[in-house]
């Protein structure tokens, strides 16, 4: 941004960032790395097709703005969303790293649809949520957030499909636990009583599995914990694995998790 051009930081950055993410490039004429970085940012801004806006601020012309934004060195890039700095980096880093940073830092194109899907689940409308998420994945197949939510919705209805969908989540650190949970619970949802080892606890174990299939988590946990007490090793330690997977699926703050976590811990 040159001094000759009219520029209002409050209007051009803060206020605009409430409508569209604004990427601010703090640079100076004498800064060689700045001249390497700026063309890359301009290229990426063009590629974004209006998804975010690039604003360039010459720190020599606007030292007050640089000071207010706590810019310690140049080049510095800050991302403004809803009037706040939500991410930043310094230095002329490689283009691929900037692309990765933008992917992690920018709101997703379909975040609103995913948020609505989550709200529909809370309202007891899973079919509508599934339709919305499938639409998102049709337009953006690598949307991990939509895929993760869809996996949870498919798990007890179509466990085979949930397994297929979760395969791509295994290598993602933030979704690795979900993928493992799906592997455990989907397997249980697909087993038949005849395939289980012959043992005195088989009926109790399969009864817990049936409760799990119906998403009666309270009864399922009670059943699995009883099997642990009687024969922990049954079905390759299946009851212990099932309990841990259910706790993960529900979350540590869930009432059912809190109720059975202590019972589970005392069962060994």
**Could you list the active site residues?**
31, 34
Task: Give me the count of residues in the chain.
Answer: 268
Collapsing DSSP to helix, strand or coil, 86 comes out as strand
How buried is 3 (Cβ within 10 angstroms: 0-12 exposed, 13-18 middle, 19+ buried)? exposed
Inter-CA distances, 120 with 111, 153, 178, Å: 14, 11, 21
How far is residue 51's CA from residue 146's CA, in Å, rounded to a whole number? 19
Inter-CA distances, 47 with 18, 78, 81, 99, 220, Å: 21, 19, 19, 11, 51
- Is residue 76 within 8 Å of 88, Cβ to Cβ? yes
User: Which residues sit opposite 27 in a β-bridge?
Assistant: 58
Which residues are CB-contacts of 155 (< 8 A; sequence separation ≥ 6)? 162, 182, 185, 186, 189, 249
């Amino acid at each position: 941004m040159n001094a000759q051009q009219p520029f209002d930081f409050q209007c051009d950055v803060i206020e605009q960032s409430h409508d569209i993410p604004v990427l601010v490039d703090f640079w100076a004429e004498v800064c060689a790395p700045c001249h390497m970085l700026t063309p890359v940012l301009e290229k990426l801004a063009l590629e974004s097709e209006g998804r975010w806006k690039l604003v360039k601020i010459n720190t020599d012309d606007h030292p007050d703005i640089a000071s207010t934004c706590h810019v310690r060195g140049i080049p510095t890039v800050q991302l403004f969303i809803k009037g706040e700095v939500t991410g930043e980096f310094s230095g002329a880093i490689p283009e691929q790293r900037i692309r990765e940073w933008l992917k992690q830092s920018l709101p997703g194109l379909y975040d609103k649809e995913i948020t609505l899907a989550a709200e529909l689940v809370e309202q007891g409308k899973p079919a509508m949520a599934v339709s919305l998420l499938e639409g998102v994945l049709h337009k953006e197949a690598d949307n991990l957030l939509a895929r993760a939510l869809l996996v949870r919705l498919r798990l007890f209805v179509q466990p085979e499909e949930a397994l297929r969908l979760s395969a791509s989540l295994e290598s993602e650190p933030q979704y690795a636990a979900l993928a493992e949970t799906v592997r455990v619970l989907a397997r249980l949802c697909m087993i038949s009583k005849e395939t289980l080892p012959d043992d005195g606890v088989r009926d109790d174990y399969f009864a817990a599995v049936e409760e799990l299939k119906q998403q009666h988590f309270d009864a399922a946990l009670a059943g699995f914990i009883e099997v642990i007490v009687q024969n922990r090793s049954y079905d390759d330690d299946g009851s212990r694995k099932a309990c841990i997977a259910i706790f993960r699926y529900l979350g540590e703050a869930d009432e059912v998790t809190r109720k059975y976590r202590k019972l589970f811990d005392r069962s060994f």
